[in-house]
């Protein structure tokens, strides 16, 4: 069996291979044709193609010189000032035999992980080597970057991929790897990834490696997802006002070791496809927002989960009695 990591094996080679975020990609394609590349910040959630996009752009611009004229670093691994002063500055100082109009490229993943001291040092390097080097920073939250860096860069915003975009790439890989599957496996894969292409490909490879067949049961086993049927039944019990029945379905999952965040995250995804009236669905989601806030603020207990189930059951009962 091929042991190569599929993320690398199927990493996009050109900008045309990348799924989604067409507005951002149009700008990058224009840059690749004109060659006039600015410093850039690519902002968005993980696994949506930010790093792949800038790598494809760098390959298009630098061609065979990419190994000597492009430096890729992950700021979450090396987030202090030393990596900026040593690796980044020394690369920026290095002379390169590039045709007029081209620049060396430094790609810095997860730049929002850099300490403030490291960002201040980076800001100086961006200014000092503007004639020879361009910087491409990717991050999840641009507000964590100092204003002095943001003002020196063009900002491209990326969004989560939709199910169709993730599915399109997944089906390509399934065909190339000759993976046996059924429809439930594809649906489960989309359920677990939430628009994150990286996670989708990782989960696909892990499921195929472990079981040799892509179906709902196997995907959920690999991804360690709480019993979705139990959670869905609990929500349906709440929609009928049956709090205690709902609690009895969710509590065993808590006992199995799933965290409040695990349960909340999956309940949230299930509410969207629950066969209930829209106004009740809205109330379920509104109360879910309060629950997620409490869990994230440091109250990840089953009491919070029970409180949510009780509240939405009460709301459902009140709507019935109107």
DSSP string, 179-210: --B-HHHHHHHHHHHTT-HHHHHHHHHHHHHH
pLDDT of residue 85 exceeding 90, the answer is: no
- Residue 8 counted as domain residue: no
β-pair type (40-43, 154-157): parallel
Looking at the structure of the chain, the number of domains it has is: 3
Confidence of residue 169 (pLDDT cuts 50, 70, 90): very high
Give the CATH number for residue 205. Answer: 1.10.8.60
Q: Do residues 111 and 50 both lie within one domain?
A: yes
> Residue 65: which CATH number?
3.40.50.300
Q: Give a yes or no: residue 299 inside a domain.
A: yes
Question: At 308, which CATH number?
Answer: 1.20.272.10
Domain final position from 108, 137, 157: 157
For 166, counting Cβ atoms within 10 Å of its Cβ (0-12 exposed, 13-18 middle, 19+ buried), the class is buried
Same domain, 106 and 46: yes
Whether 43 is in a domain gets the answer yes
Q: How far apart are the C-alpha atoms of 301 and 296, rounded to whole Å?
A: 11
Q: Sorting pLDDT into bands at 50, 70 and 90, what band is 302?
A: very high
> pTM of the entire structure?
0.86
**191 plus 66 within the same structural domain:** no
Confidence of residue 100 (pLDDT cuts 50, 70, 90): confident
pLDDT above 90 covers a percentage of the chain that reads: 84
Give CA angle at 100 (94, 105), nearest 5°. 45
Whole-number pLDDT of residue 2:
58
Domain boundaries, position 45: 21-157
Residue 109: strand, helix, or coil: strand
pLDDT at 62: 93
The answer to whether the beta carbons of residues 119 and 83 sit under 8 Å apart is: no
**Angle between helices 278-296 and 260-271 in degrees, nearest 10:** 160
Per-residue pLDDT tens digits for 43-81: 999 999 999 999 999 999 999 999 999 999 988 776 677
pLDDT in tens, 171-182: 999 999 999 999
Q: Taking residues 298-313, report their average pLDDT.
A: 93
């Amino acid at each position: 069996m091929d042991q190569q990591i599929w993320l690398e094996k199927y990493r996009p080679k050109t900008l045309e291979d990348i799924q989604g975020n067409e507005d951002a990609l149009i700008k990058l394609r224009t840059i690749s044709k004109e060659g006039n590349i600015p410093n850039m910040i690519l902002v968005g959630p993980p696994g949506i193609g930010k790093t792949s996009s800038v790598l494809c752009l760098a390959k298009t611009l630098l061609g065979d010189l990419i190994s000597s004229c492009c430096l890729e670093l992950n700021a979450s691994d090396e987030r202090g000032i030393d990596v900026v002063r040593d690796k980044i500055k020394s690369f920026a100082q290095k002379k390169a035999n590039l045709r007029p109009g081209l620049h060396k490229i430094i790609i810095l993943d997860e730049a929002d992980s850099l300490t403030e001291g490291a960002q201040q040092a980076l800001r100086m390097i961006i200014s000092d080597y503007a004639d020879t080097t361009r910087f491409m920073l990717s991050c999840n939250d641009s507000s964590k970057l100092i204003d002095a860096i943001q003002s020196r860069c063009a900002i491209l915003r990326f969004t989560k991929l939709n199910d169709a975009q993730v599915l399109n790439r997944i089906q390509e890989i399934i065909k190339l790897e000759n993976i046996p599957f059924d429809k439930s496996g594809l649906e489960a894969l989309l359920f677990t990834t939430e628009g994150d292409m990286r996670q989708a490909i990782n989960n696909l490879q892990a499921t195929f490696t472990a079981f040799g067949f892509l179906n709902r049961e196997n995907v959920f086993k690999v991804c360690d997802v709480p019993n979705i049927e139990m959670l869905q039944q609990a929500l349906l019990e709440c929609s009928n006002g049956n709090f205690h029945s709902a609690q009895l379905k969710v509590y065993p999952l808590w006992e199995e070791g799933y965290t409040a965040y695990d349960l909340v995250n999956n309940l949230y995804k299930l509410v969207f496809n629950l066969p209930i009236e829209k106004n009740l669905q809205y109330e379920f989601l509104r109360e879910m927002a309060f629950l997620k806030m409490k869990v994230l603020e440091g109250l990840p207990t089953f009491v919070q989960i029970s409180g949510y189930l009780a509240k939405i059951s009460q709301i459902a009962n009140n709507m019935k009695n109107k």
